[in-house]
Amino acid sequence: MYICRLISHCRILWQAGCEMKYVSELGGHVPIRDRNLKTTVDEIYVAGDAAGIEEASSAMVEGKLAGISAAISLGYDNENRKFKRRLYRTTKFP
């Protein structure tokens, strides 16, 4: 699992084979990701700057969701699923 925090680290997402999409409103190429913040490459989740989310509090919430999603994918799911549902209820994503 790799969680990208800085724009300069997005290169590693290209190298890992993540499908990218140009979004001018987000300032360039960003990785395509699903609702769980997983990219098109298994076990790679992305949040924050690398995903085009530069505002700190939004990036922190996304980071939590990405971490929880990764934990669930590894089988750690009991409390994580409940916490994730609470985060989704209080956060609006585009």
DSSP string, 24-83: GGGTEEEE-B-TT-BBSSTT-B--GGGGT--SHHHHHHHHHHHHHHHHHHTT--HHHHHH
Domain residue extents for the chain: 7-90
Q: How far is CA 26 from CA 36, 53, 62, 76, 91, in A?
A: 19, 8, 16, 32, 19
Question: pLDDT digits over 3-39, tens only?
Answer: 454 556 678 888 999 999 888 887 778 899 998 999 9
Question: pLDDT digits over 48-85, tens only?
Answer: 877 777 778 888 888 888 888 888 888 877 666 676 67
CB neighbour class for 45 (10 Å; exposed up to 12, middle 13-18, buried from 19): buried
Q: How many CB atoms are closer than 10 A to CB 57?
A: 8
